[in-house]
Amino acid sequence: MTAQLIDGKTIAQQVREEVAADVARRLASGKARPGLATVLVGDRVDSATYVASKQNACAELGMESFHNQLPGDTSQEEVEALVRNLNADPKVNGILVQLPLPSHLDEERVLQLINIEKDVDGFSPLNIGRLAQKGREPLFVPCTPFGCIYLLEKAGVTIEGANAVVLGRSNIVGMPAALLLIGKNATVTVCHSRTRDLPAVVRQADILIAAIGKMEFVRGDWIKPGAAVIDVGINDKPDPTKKRGYRLVGDVNFEEAVEVAGHITPVPGGVGPMTIAMLMKNTLRAAEIQAP
Ligand code: GUN
């Protein structure tokens, strides 16, 4: 069997076009241009690249972006003062503090300061708390897990009643992905570095979300035939045939898994493009909440 590919690139593009059309409608009706503030502390190259892509997406979709670049030795008080200013700025509908922050900063204190109505990353304790509770709705869902669920639904995968296995329990992907799946009535197992007999647990999964950051870690014979596999990993694999000397691979051994799974996301072109698309969707939603 060869799995059906879930084309994240095309689906993300559709989401972006829908958002751009809604932004254009808001502008035509005299409403303000939605605005996203990005905050980057320090000079991590990967974080700078992600933030630049987020700014470019804003420009492409007709939104404003306001970038705030702070030196790596910025104090806790300075970062908090910036977040307070952004909370008070009516042109800013969404605030995104790029993670990880340098280790001397208290990430939790920064994230909990973000006004819940501007928390387009969905990382504030209030939004995560609501995601974790039955009958409560967060205002925003974290972008990468939101993208994973969106891909499953677009591919027509049934989540309700499915056995879902999430590999990884990070605040950014694994844990919110598990909470979202529970909210959609899946039976969820969250695996991590101390899980016993991981292959046996993964073999039970009708839906597998792999977010552990280990190159091609999940083997084809761990996958239940027909399962839906969502690969969140982005790892550099040395490849001398490539000009840059490497290629991107996921946390799942794609060549093996594609022969067993029912659906699978490729890397690149699967979950990756969805994160920014969902951030744009969340930023539009923030503008709609603040100025209906
Ligand atoms: N670092 C890695 N992923 C993310 C994300 O989705 N949002 C933020 N703010 N930082 C990240």
User: Is the separation of the CB atoms in 291 and 165 below 8 Å?
Assistant: no
pLDDT bin (cut points 50, 70, 90) of residue 1 is low
57 plus 103 within the same structural domain: yes
pLDDT score of 199 more than 70: yes
Q: Which domain holds residue 104?
A: 31-117
- Of 61, 82, 117, the residue at which a domain comes to its end is 117
Domain-located, residue 3: no
111 plus 146 within the same structural domain: no
In a domain, 45, yes or no: yes
Three-class DSSP category at 61? helix
CATH number at residue 112: 3.40.50.10860
Mark whether 183 and 148 lie in a shared domain. Answer: yes
Among 46, 98, 119, say which to mutate for ligand 1: greatest number of ligand atoms within 8 Å of CB.
98
The whole-angstrom separation of Cα 183 and Cα 128 is 13
Asked, for residue 220, whether it belongs to a domain, the answer is yes
Q: Residue 250: pLDDT above 90? A: yes
> Are residues 266 and 173 part of one domain?
yes
Q: Both 169 and 263 in a single domain?
A: yes
Do both 211 and 177 map to the same domain? yes
- Per the DSSP assignment, residues forming a β-bridge with 36 are 65, 94
Do 201 and 98 sit in the same domain of this protein?
no
Q: What is the rounded average pLDDT of the residues 15-22?
A: 98
Please write down the long-range contacts of 104-109, taking CB distance under 8 Å and 24 or more positions apart: 104/73, 104/76, 105/41, 105/74, 105/76, 105/79, 106/76, 109/76, 109/80
Check whether residue 80 and residue 180 sit in a common domain. Answer: no
φ/ψ of 117, rounded to 5, equals -75, -15
Contact (CB, 8 A) for 82 and 89: no
Q: How far is the CA of 234 from the centre of ligand 1 (A)?
A: 14
CATH label of the domain that carries residue 220:
3.40.50.720
**Over the stretch 41-77, which tens digit does the pLDDT of each residue have?**
999 999 999 999 999 999 999 999 999 999 999 999 9
Q: Are residues 228 and 263 in the same domain?
A: yes
Nearest to 91 by CA among 124, 64, 120: 64
Interval 71-123: pLDDT, tens: 999 999 999 999 999 999 999 999 999 999 999 999 999 999 999 999 999 99
Q: How many domains does the chain have?
A: 2
Segment holding 246, helix H or strand E: strand 246-249
pLDDT higher than 90, residue 27: yes
What atom of ligand 1 comes closest to residue 143's alpha carbon?
6
Both 170 and 52 in one domain: the answer is no
Pair 166, 230 in one domain:
yes
Within-domain flag for 131: no
Residues 76 and 150 occupy one common structural domain: no
The fraction of the chain above a pLDDT of 70, given in percent, is 100
Q: Is the pTM of this model over 0.95?
A: yes
E strand intervals along 91-157 = 94-97
Question: How far is the centre of ligand 1, averaged over its atoms, from the C-alpha of 192 (Å)?
Answer: 20
Phi and psi dihedrals of 268, rounded to 5? -80, 175
